[in-house]
Amino acid sequence: MESCVRAQQMVPPRAYRVIALPELSGPLRRLVRLIEREGSVWLAWADGGEMWLIAAEQSLALSRERGRPVLQMRVYDAQGDSQEAVTCVQTRGNVWERCA
């Protein structure tokens, strides 16, 4: 997931990973609880006053169809507002590309 986020430049290159829940904004902590209940995983990054949380799950149907891993991701800002939804497939060269 992290390699996909970096490859697709979903967060600035200088952003650092946020690992501990207390480091997240209040809205993102609440969002993490929902994400985890849904069975998705999450990673977060920060850069200055900005923060991003990305929730992801592997799409088994799309992965089977393409014969490669496919991730469906949702990007949220520090306020917990959804910024975009992204679906990426891992190529044979182990590079992540957005699905059309």
Sheet strand arrangement including 96-98: 16-18, 41-47, 50-58, 70-77, 82-90, 96-98
Between the alpha carbon of residue 95 and those of residues 15, 16, 50, 55, 75, the distances in Å are: 21, 21, 27, 19, 20
Amino acid at 60: L
CA distance 34 to 17: 20
pLDDT tens per residue across all 100 residues of the chain: 999 999 999 999 999 999 999 999 999 999 999 999 998 999 999 999 899 999 999 999 999 999 999 999 999 999 999 999 999 999 989 899 999 7
Domain ranges of the chain: 2-98
pLDDT at position 100 is 73
CA distance 18 to 16: 6
**Can you tell me which residue has the tokens 């979903």?**
10
